[in-house]
Amino acid sequence: MTLIAFQDPLGQLPTPASTFAEEVDPLFTFLTVISIFFFTLILVVLVYSAIRYRRRRPDQPPASQMTHNTTLEVVWTLIPTVILMVTFAWGLKGNLDQQIVPADARAYTVEAWKWAWAFHHPGDDPNNPQTAAEDLYCEIGVPVRITMTSRDVLHSLYIPAFRVKRDVVPGVRQILWFRPTELGTYDLFCAEYCGDGHSLMRRKVHVVDAETFAKKPWIDIPQTPEGRGEKWYTQAGCIACHSLTDQITVGPVFKGIWMRPGQLQSGESYVADADYIRNSIRNPASQLVAGRPNWVAGAMPQFTEAQLTDEQIDDLIAWMKTLK
C-alpha cells in the first residue's frame, strides 16, 4: 500500500496490478507534479500581471517597455528542454521493457472480431472454438505472452490496471506481454474504434493463484444444451448486438425470438425457426431483414464452422427457445 501511495500519490491511475505500473506510475506522477508547478506558476504570474498592471484610466501608459531579456529567454528555453529530455528518456526506458518478452512467459492467443474476444489459454487447442474463453485468466507473478490476431477490422486490447495496450491488426500477429502482480479481477477494454459494438467489447481479466489456475477455471462448459447456448451467446459476441430486453442495441433482440415472424429486404416473410437462425449465422448477407438501414442490417458477421461449430449453433437454438 505504501508502494502504491509512492507511485501514484494523487490517486489518478487505476489500482496497479502489473510490473509495468511500477514504471509508468512514477513517470505519470512526475509529470503531474511538474505540470501543476508550471501551470500554477504561469497562472499566478498571468493573473498577477493582469490585475497589478490593469488599465485604471484609458490613457494609462505601460509600466515597462521591456521587450527582450536574453537571460530570461535562455532560462525559459533551457529548463523545459531539460525536463523534456528527462521525460523522453524515462518514457523510452519503460517502453523498452514492454517490448522485450521474457523467455519463460506462458503463451496465450486471442482472436478479436466484431465484437468479441476469444482467448485461448496455455494448453488449449487454439483451433477449437469450444474451448475459447471470453475472459482472460492468468496466474499471479507468471508472465503472460498473448499473440493477437483480428478476424475483421482493427481492435486494441487494453487492460488499464496493467498499463498495457496494443492494437490488434488484421493480417498481422501482434504480441502483448505483462506480469500480473496483484490478485483480483480487472477490466479489459477494446480501445480502437471498431463499430457498433465497440463499447461492448469489454471483458474481465482474472488474476488467480497457482492452485486456482491449475484447475483451468476458464473451461466451464455447462451440461445442458440451453446452458451451453447461453455460454456461446456471450463467448461468440452475440451479446454485443442482440439484447435480451426490449431495447434494440444493434441487431434483432433475442427476447422472444423463437418462431417470431418478420420480413426480409427481398419482400419475403420468414419465421425465426432453426433453419432461419442457422442460415443467419452461416450466411447473414443472404437474408437481411427489412425496415433497418443498410449499415445496421449488414453488420452481422459471418461465422464459419471453425469459428462456431454446428453443435454450438444447436445449443444456441435450444437456448433461444427458452427466451420469452
Partner 1 sequence: MTTHTPAIETAPSATRKEPSYLDVTKGFWSWAGTLDHKRIGIMYLVGVTAAFLCGGLLALLIRLHLWTPEGMLFENGVYNQVFTLHGVFMVFLFIIPAIPASIGNFVLPLMLGAPDVALPRLNLASFYLWLVGSILTVYSIITGAVDTGWTFYTPYSIETQTSVLSMGLAIFVLGFSSIFTGLNFIVTIHKMRARGQGWFKMPLFCWAIYATSVLQVLATPVLGVTVLLLAFEHIYNIGIFDPAYGGDPILFQHFFWFYSHPAVYIMILPAMGVISEVVSVHSRKPLFGYKLIAFSSISIAVISFLVWGHHMYTSGQSEFVMMAFSFLTMLVAIPTAIKVFSWVATIWGGSVALSAPMLYAISFIIIFTIGGLTGVFLGALSVDIHLHDTYFVVAHFHAVMMGSTALAFFAGIHHWWPKMFGVMYDERLAKISAVLILIGFNVTFLPQFKMGSLGMPRRYATYVEQFQIYHQVSTVGAMILGVGFALMLGYLLHSLVAGRRARANEWGGVTLDWHTPTPPNLYNFDDEPVMAGKLYDYTELDISPTGEATFKAHKSTATVGSKA
The footprint of partner 1 on residues 72-101 (CB under 8 A) is 72-73, 76-77, 80-81, 84-85, 87-88, 90-99
First CA to last CA across the chain, in angstroms? Answer: 49
**Is residue 200 part of the contact set for partner 1 (CB under 8 A)?**
yes
**Is residue 6 part of the contact set for partner 1 (CB under 8 A)?**
no
Give least dist CB 225 to partner 1, A.
30
Give least dist CB 187 to partner 1, A.
6
**Is residue 324 part of the contact set for partner 1 (CB under 8 A)?**
no
User: If binding means CB under 8 A, how many residues of this protein chain bind partner 1?
Assistant: 95
- Subset of 8-47 contacting partner 1 (CB under 8 A): 12-14, 20, 23-24, 27-28, 31, 34-35, 38-39, 42-43, 45-46
The grid coordinates listed for 36 are: 501543476
- Subset of 41-70 contacting partner 1 (CB under 8 A): 42-43, 45-46, 49-50, 53-55, 57-69
Q: Are 163 and 189 in contact (CB under 8 A)?
A: no
**Is residue 192 part of the contact set for partner 1 (CB under 8 A)?**
yes
**Which residue number, 61 or 261, has a Cβ lying nearer to partner 1?**
61
Q: Candidates 117, 158, 233, 319: give the one binding partner 1 (CB under 8 A).
A: 158
How far are the Cα atoms of 47, 129, 310 from residue 224, in angstroms, in the given order? 70, 18, 16
Burial label for 267, CB within 10 Å (0-12, 13-18, 19+), is exposed
- Subset of 204-263 contacting partner 1 (CB under 8 A): 248-250
DSSP assigned state of 180: B
Q: Which of 317, 311, 18, 67 is nearest to 177 (CA)?
A: 18
Q: Candidates 1, 104, 171, 285: give the one binding partner 1 (CB under 8 A).
A: 171
How far are the Cα atoms of 78, 218, 221 from residue 209, in angstroms, in the given order? 50, 14, 22
Q: Are 113 and 124 in contact (CB under 8 A)?
A: no
Give least dist CB 181 to partner 1, A.
16
Residue 314, H or E segment: helix 310-320
**Which residue number, 121 or 166, has a Cβ lying nearer to partner 1?**
166
Task: Decide the pairing of beta strands 203-208 and 136-139.
Answer: parallel
- Distance (Å, whole) CA 164 – CA 146: 12
Give least dist CB 199 to partner 1, A.
4
Give least dist CB 206 to partner 1, A.
16
- Distance (Å, whole) CA 190 – CA 202: 6
Task: Decide the pairing of beta strands 174-178 and 144-150.
Answer: antiparallel
Cis peptide before 295 (omega within 30 of 0): no
The SS3 assignment for 116 reads: strand
Q: Candidates 299, 300, 308, 313: give the one binding partner 1 (CB under 8 A).
A: 299
- Number of other residues whose CB lies within 10 A of the CB of residue 97: 12
**Is residue 71 part of the contact set for partner 1 (CB under 8 A)?**
no
Give least dist CB 258 to partner 1, A.
24
**Which residue number, 212 or 302, has a Cβ lying nearer to partner 1?**
302
Q: Candidates 4, 105, 140, 169: give the one binding partner 1 (CB under 8 A).
A: 169
Give least dist CB 167 to partner 1, A.
5
Give least dist CB 261 to partner 1, A.
23
